[in-house]
Structure 1
Amino acid sequence: MTFSLILRDPESGEFGSAISSSSPAVAARCLNLADGIGAANSQNVTDPRLGAQLIDRLRAGDAAQEALDAVIAGADPETIEYRQLLVLDSAGGSAAFSGARALGTFGAETRENAVAGGNMLASLDVLDALVDTALTTSGRIEERLYAALRAALAAGGEEGPVHSAGISVVGEAGWRVTDLRVDWVDDDPIGELGRVLEEWLPQRDDYIHRGINPAVAPSYGVPGDE
């Protein structure tokens, strides 16, 4: 029901994740990111606690594969077979797990600075499209993530239509500097996400400045904002 990607930008140190699914509000349940630490996605029959556990292991100093092994070892041996887990660490190391009871055509693709996974896929070509596009596209990390989603959709996406999508990014600010979601639309949530991203990106850094130093933040001309 889902395809997703985690990406690290080695130049900026930013981590980002992009996801789309036939299920509602997929980005709200599946994406976990921490400044300077890494990122993890928990998907398929999602247990959101597992993503948080992976981040905790990364924060404690585990590399991606070590974090994944520890979380799997500590999970219920029956329910873990329904899960897909993706993790990327601060050095760009990646790891992935797909339980035997993941849905439909499923799998994962691990590279340096990127990891993708999916289930109920039209084909495994979707995963190559996600990773290859993200690693070869120029621009800000959000633009690379969005291009990867579009490429995955063009490669076939899910077996059926998708209805939700999201992109999240962390850097050094202490919060998600981008956190955009389309929680449900009947048609083309990725296209709708692109329209939101186009509006957001030119303002992203201004909102970072607002959070850190509001005295020098720009005004947007709304009533009371001077």
Structure 2
Amino acid sequence: MTFSISARCERTGMFGIAVSSSSPAVAARCAHARAGVGVVATQNITDPTLGPKGLDLLAKCLTSEEVIARFKAEASHFDYRQVVVLDKTGTSTGHSGIKTLGTHTIAQAPNVAAAGNLLSSDKVPQAMVDSFLSMPDASLGDRLVAAMKAAVAAGGEEGPVHSVGMLLVDKVAWPVADLRIDWSEGDVMDEFETLWKLWVPQMEAYVTRALDPSTAPSYGVPGDE
């Protein structure tokens, strides 16, 4: 019921993850990333605790392969989990437990990995990776949005997609983008792309306002003259 893409921008070092599902508020459970550290996607029968645990292990300089090995040794009910870990080098390791639902697979390349379950086709994750790799000069957010749309074009999941989210982290301790459509009966990917286009021109300004408000641009709201 979920497909996701985890990635690192080789040019900037930014990390990101985008995820979508037929269930509500998927990004609240499945998307985890930390600046300078990496990404953890935890999905299928989701255990949200694996996200922070995996990021803490990556922060201690464990590789993605070592993090998955720790999960296999220590995490409860790991046979039910589909997990992708992408480390600071852009190397990814994936796991689809024997209890993963429906058609499921993981596709990987340097700096990117896509995973899905209950898919309409096992070609969906590779379509996401191919889309990401075809846009090396675009921003990480643009590449992730395009990859999610490519997933839908390749068939997506078996059920209708109702929720989507994207997390981007870069240099500061909080996400520079944390965009979510937690439920939609419409074309959720078009709504997601519209939300991203609304956010991206303002993204750096919000970082500046946090770090040094005296140098930040105006807020652009009524009454801010």
TM-score strictly above 0.5: yes
- Runs of at least 4 residues off by over 3 Å: 223-226
Paired position in structure 2 for 1:144? 143
Residue identity opposite 1:110 in structure 2: Q
The alignment partner of 1:176 has SS state of coil
Paired position in structure 2 for 1:167? 166
1:224 shift after superposition? 4.5
The alignment partner of 1:46 has SS state of coil
Paired position in structure 1 for 2:218? 219
1:220 shift after superposition? 2.9
Paired position in structure 1 for 2:70? 70
1:59 shift after superposition? 0.7
1:223 shift after superposition? 3.6
The alignment partner of 1:156 has SS state of coil
For residues 171-192 of structure 1, the C-alpha deviation after alignment (integer angstroms, 9 at most, x for no partner) is 1022100110000011221111
Measure, in 2, the Cα distance between the counterparts of 1:199 and 1:113: 26
Residue identity opposite 2:128 in structure 1: L
Paired position in structure 2 for 1:134? 132
Matched, 1:39 2:64: no
Paired position in structure 2 for 1:115? 113
The alignment partner of 2:49 has SS state of helix
| Contact 1:7–1:114 (Cα < 8 Å) also in 2 | yes
| Unpaired segments ≥5 residues, structure 2 | none
Measure, in 2, the Cα distance between the counterparts of 1:224 and 1:72: 55
The alignment partner of 1:128 has SS state of helix
Provide the aligned length of Structure 1 versus Structure 2: 224
Paired position in structure 1 for 2:23? 23
Measure, in 2, the Cα distance between the counterparts of 1:37 and 1:221: 33
| Contact 2:71–2:78 (Cα < 8 Å) also in 1 | no
Paired position in structure 2 for 1:86? 84
Measure, in 1, the Cα distance between the counterparts of 2:173 and 2:110: 24
1:135 shift after superposition? 1.7
Measure, in 2, the Cα distance between the counterparts of 1:215 and 1:22: 43
| Unpaired segments ≥5 residues, structure 1 | none
Measure, in 1, the Cα distance between the counterparts of 2:150 and 2:34: 26
TM-score w.r.t. the length of structure 1 is 0.96
TM-score w.r.t. the length of structure 2 is 0.97
